[in-house]
Amino acid sequence: MNDAILRRSDGRHFITAFIGRLDPETGRVQYVNAGHPSPFLVDREGMRELESTGLPLGFTPGLTYARATAELSPDSLLAVFSDGISEARNGEQFFELERLARIVTEGRGADCLEELSRDVLDQVTGFLDGAPRQDDIALMLLRRR
């Protein structure tokens, strides 16, 4: 993917990506994080980030990407998001990862992930207070039962 993107780009643009494969029986997630904002994995132990395993796609030719593994225990929550959320900007202030982490951690036990998703997006919209969005906003929440 990296080299294909590099061949079709102007060399000044790149793509971050988080690609994962979940085994629903065991809760094991194998993933590659190509420079994407680190997803949050929240469980009874607290929150941890699924760190980057390589540079963004299309950054430089011939890149290889390490695969990492995480375990989703029962009732854990995985939050994957675009930087349009953490980097939402109102004047000189940013929404920031810490605020997003707090919202996701506090809402981990929500009965419906749609409610938690709506809460995150409502808080980003409230933070912007009419300021224009500078980037896309994407959010995926996954809970293991």
Q: CA dist 118 to 35, 45, 72, 89, 96, Å?
A: 26, 25, 23, 19, 18
What pTM was computed for the model? Answer: 0.91
Q: Say if residues 34 and 52 touch (Cβ distance below 8 Å).
A: yes
Other C-beta atoms within 10 Å of 58: how many? 25
d(CA 62, CA 82): 25
Strand-pair category, 28-34 with 17-23: antiparallel
CA distance 104 to 122: 13
CATH classification at residue 28: 3.60.40.10
| Each residue's pLDDT expressed in tens, for the chain with a length of 145 residues | 888 888 888 777 889 999 999 999 999 999 999 999 999 999 999 999 999 999 999 988 888 899 999 999 999 999 999 999 999 999 999 999 999 999 999 998 888 999 999 999 999 999 999 998 989 999 999 999 8
Q: Which residue range(s) make up the domain with 18?
A: 2-143
Domain count, the chain: 1
